[in-house]
Amino acid sequence: MGERLLVVDDEPTVKELLSATLRFAGFTVSSADNGAQALEQARRDPPDLVLLDVMLPDLDGFEVLRRLRGLPRADGRPGPVPVLFLTARDAKADKVNGLRLGGDDYVTKPFDLEELLARIRAILRRTGVLPDDQTLVVGDLELDPDGHQVTRASHPVRLSPTEFRLLHYLVLNAGRVLPKAQILEQVWRYDFAGDTSIVDTYVSYLRRKLDTGESPKLIHTVHGVGYLLRKPKA
């Protein structure tokens, strides 16, 4: 995808986790620690969507939203820059205020990452950044990130949540050789003390479900490096 997201949060742990998750999901991500920095970045490189904390060390998120209203959107699209509030401020009055001021959504911390991604994509579709259909296709394999649905040759494939995350990452990087350590970091987000055997195990699970019967193989081993998912040759 590559849609540009701006994450504005003064908590380094939240900002880094969120940025890594969004990049893994295929977005281009920049970040800011405070309101003034966010406004400057939005002027210099207009984002497709801003994820905005309310409690910032200089301007609060509501004031940042007011100032964002006057800035152009990416690629000259009509309308204001979409904003999703992502904050620990969970009072009903804060949520109402954020939406009244023109926020597109309001999510409170702690948040579920999968739900947040679905909300982001919903805003991007609603504001014309993403087309309605975001199904990823490689050969006869189709993967719907929002619906968590996978088909191969039009037949449904049932995957566990971890299998789905692994396949999603392989599909997003179709045609690229992915080292096992990189897959481990991006899919599991921790390193099992450097033991990449978990990657081998789950790739084996995927192969049993995807590369079956007479269907051409999608997942290939690159010995000494990692794995590659590619469209079968015609």
The DSSP secondary structure of the chain, one letter per residue, reads: ---EEEEE-S-HHHHHHHHHHHHHTT-EEEEESSHHHHHHHHHHS--SEEEE-S--SSS-HHHHHHHHTTSPPGGG-SSPPPEEEEES---HHHHHHHHHTT-SEEEESS--HHHHHHHHHHHHHHTTSS-S---EEETTEEEETTTTEEEETTEE----HHHHHHHHHHHHTTTSEEEHHHHIIIIISS-GGG-THHHHHHHHHHHHHHS-TTSPP-EEEETTTEEEE-PPP-
Claim: this prediction has a pTM higher than 0.75: no
Question: What does each of the 234 residues of the chain score in pLDDT, given as a tens digit?
Answer: 578 999 999 999 999 989 988 988 888 999 999 999 999 999 999 999 999 999 999 999 999 999 998 888 877 777 789 999 999 999 999 999 999 999 999 999 988 887 888 888 888 888 877 766 678 889 889 998 877 889 998 888 999 989 999 999 999 888 989 999 888 888 886 656 667 889 999 999 999 999 877 778 999 999 999 999 998 876
Q: What is the pLDDT of residues 13-29, one digit of tens each?
A: 999 989 988 988 888 99
